[in-house]
Amino acid sequence: MSGAPRRIFTIAIILALAGALAPARAADVKLTLWRLKTYIPPADKILDTTIQDCAKKIGAEVQIQTYTFDDMWTKYTAAIESKTLPDIAELDAVGPARLANLGRLSDVSDLVGTVTKELGELAQNAEGAVKFGGKFYAVPHYSNALLLFYRKDLLEKVGAQPPDTWEAINEISVKIKKAGILDYPQGFPWNRTGDGYDPAMSLLWSYGAAWVDKSGKYIGMPKDKAVQAIKVATAPYLTDKTAALDYLSWSGSGNNEAFMAGKIAFTPNGPSILFQEDSTKHPLRKDTAIKIMPNGPAGRNLALTFVMNWGVPVDGKNQKEARAVVACIMSKEKFTAYMTGSFQQAVPLFRSLLSNDYCKVIVETVKLGRPVGWPGPTTPAAAEVISSNVLTDMLTRVIVDKVTPEKAVDEANQRIKEIYDRLPVK
């Protein structure tokens, strides 16, 4: 090569070498965060933006992975075994209990302290899912309360008042069926989703049939009370014929769709029905009403099982940064923006934020709602009772397999006892 090109070539080589040998920019801290994929894409977007902003603020990079409610435990199970839990994990009502018991969650009491300073006290029952042995193992953030949905126009047609007991729901359903309005108006699906096990707990607890005592130790469901509850729950399927067998196999969306298709008059669900009706300008929106879940002889002991919390697993190598991100996500400005952007579907678990912005019914439910494992704390054993669908199986045994309620209770108690033997409550 001659003259000028040679010089250019040499300079180019030198520059390239300089670039290659120059010290690499200090690697950003890389965090992984797992969150639930919700049915409100705009809210998810707000949360993602918040997370990324928070990460940038502390000079970290976050990779967000999502899971749906159905495959949440598939993901977490795989990660628990392979010791690859993310740096920040959004957990449900039983996640913190399970993971804390395995020693896989960091103590975040200080973090909760910081958060409550900004956002105020936690809601009445929010601690149950995250506080064990006096320490906090996750930071609660929102709940999706389970409400009783009903068609107020149909109730008017048969001259009924909105029901406040489980029996009343059945009675009104019978009236609606007799009037020839709907064939199967009672849409309580004792299935293997939140729409099944959440009301199942509310039902049993409202009849005084909890399976543990205040300390969380196993005592077994009192047979007479449990049988009473079962009879009320299964009557629509067995005797009244106001509920269709198909409802038992609904996935989480089944009852939403049936309600909006105008085929059922009652169903338990989170506020998603309202959201869907609003967003599609649904004709039934004006006839859709909500009420707090019913009362029973032992009181209105509602379950609050859809609560989401931020945990910081010990697997992560960047504990400090992870906690900083969580603190930032839960800062007043960002958190309220997220809650506002969820179309009132997500309800904050902080007392002062439970205000007029939210429907009274929802607020009341959150205030009254009890954690899994009531009257005791949420324990891994209680978690497994729910995730193994013991309660809804008990009901379907009576409905589908035509077992007697007494036998079903015995079976269920046996299953629960076996779980508690395997996962003793400390």
Partner 1 sequence: MSVRIFRWLVVMSLLLLVAVPLYWILATSFKTGRQILMSEGVYFPRPFTLENYLYLFQETRFALWLRNSAVTAVASTLISLAIGSAGAYALTRLRFPGRRSFGALVLITYLVPPGLMFIPLYRTFIQIGYTNSLGTLIIAYPTFLVPFVTWLLMGFFRSIPRELEEAALVDGATRFETLYRIVLPLAAPGLLAAGLFCFTLSWNEFLYALIFIADDNLRTLPVGLSEFVVSDFAFWGQLMAAAALASLPVVLVYIYLHKYMVSGLTAGAVKG
Partner 2 sequence: MAQGPVSGAGGGAAGAPRQSPLVLARPADAAPRAARLAWHRINRVQERLLAYALILPVALLIVGLIAYPFLNAIWLSLTEKMVGYPAHFVGFKNYVTLWGSSRFRIVAWNSVVYTVGSIGAKVVIGLAMAVALQKAARGNQFLRGFLLLPWVIPTVVIALTWRWLLDLYRGLVNVSLLDLGLIKAGFHWLGNPDLAMLSVIIANVWRGFPFFGVSFLAAMQTVPQDLYDAASVDGASAWQQFWRISLPSIKGVVAIVTLLSTIWTLNDFNIVYIMTRGGPGAATHIFATYSYELGIQSQRWGMAMAASMYSLPVIALLIVFVVRYLHRDEAAS
CB of 251 to partner 2, least distance (A): 8
Expressed in angstroms, the distance from the first to the final Cα of the chain is 81
CA angle 75, 102, 210 (to 5 degrees): 90
CB of 283 to partner 2, least distance (A): 16
Question: How does DSSP assign 67-130, residue by residue?
Answer: E-TTTHHHHHHHHHHHT---SEEEE-SSHHHHHHHTT-B---HHHHHHHHHHH-SBPTTGGGGT
Binding window for partner 2 (CB under 8 A); candidates: 13-21, 207-215, 258-266, 334-342: 258-266
Spatial separation of the C-alpha atoms in residues 210 and 373, rounded to whole Å: 8
Q: Which of residues 174-203 bind partner 2 (CB under 8 A)?
A: 183, 191-192
What is the pattern of x (binds partner 1, CB under 8 A) and - over residues 273-312? ---x---x-x------------------------------
Buried b (16+ CB within 10 A) or exposed e, 332-344: eebbeebbebbbe
Binding window for partner 2 (CB under 8 A); candidates: 54-62, 168-176, 256-264, 363-371: 256-264
What is the pattern of x (binds partner 1, CB under 8 A) and - over residues 20-59? -----------------xxx-x------------------
What is the pattern of x (binds partner 1, CB under 8 A) and - over residues 138-167? ------------------------------
| Cβ proximity to partner 1, 116 vs 253, nearer residue | 253
User: Beta strand 60-67 with 29-36: parallel, antiparallel or unpaired?
Assistant: parallel
CB 92 within 8 A of CB 197: no
Spatial separation of the C-alpha atoms in residues 221 and 182, rounded to whole Å: 35
The site partner of 183 among partner 2, partner 1, none (C-beta below 5 to 8 Å per kind) is: partner 2
CB of 307 to partner 1, least distance (A): 14
| Cβ proximity to partner 1, 301 vs 392, nearer residue | 392
Residues in contact with partner 2, total (CB under 8 A)?
36
Residues in contact with partner 1, total (CB under 8 A)?
35
Tell me the sheet residues that pair with 135.
132
Residue 249 within binding range of partner 2, rule CB under 8 A: yes
* Nearest partner of 41 among 330, 342, 277, judged by Cα: 342
Residue 258 within binding range of partner 2, rule CB under 8 A: yes
| Cβ proximity to partner 1, 298 vs 314, nearer residue | 314
| Cβ proximity to partner 2, 91 vs 244, nearer residue | 244
Q: Which of residues 53-112 bind partner 1 (CB under 8 A)?
A: 63-66, 68-71, 74-75, 78-79, 81-84
Buried b (16+ CB within 10 A) or exposed e, 211-233: bbeeebebebbbeebbbbbbebb
Question: How does DSSP assign 223-264, residue by residue?
Answer: HHHHHHHHHHHHHHHHTS--S-GGGGG--TTHHHHHHHTT--
For 37, residues 6+ apart whose C-beta sits below 8 A from its C-beta are 44, 66, 67, 68
What is the pattern of x (binds partner 1, CB under 8 A) and - over residues 177-196? ----------------xx--
Residue 276 within binding range of partner 2, rule CB under 8 A: no
Spatial separation of the C-alpha atoms in residues 162 and 388, rounded to whole Å: 33
Binding window for partner 1 (CB under 8 A); candidates: 126-134, 254-262, 292-300, 360-368: 254-262
Beta carbons within 10 angstroms of residue 139's beta carbon: 27
Spatial separation of the C-alpha atoms in residues 389 and 411, rounded to whole Å: 13
For 241, residues 6+ apart whose C-beta sits below 8 A from its C-beta are 177, 184
CB of 70 to partner 2, least distance (A): 9
CB of 350 to partner 2, least distance (A): 31
Contact residues for partner 2, defined by CB under 8 A = 73-74, 77, 80-81, 98-99, 102, 104, 183, 191-192, 244-251, 257-258, 261, 263, 384, 387-389, 393, 396-397, 399-401, 422-423
Contact residues for partner 1, defined by CB under 8 A = 37-39, 41, 63-66, 68-71, 74-75, 78-79, 81-84, 193-194, 251-253, 256-257, 260-261, 269-270, 272, 276, 280, 282
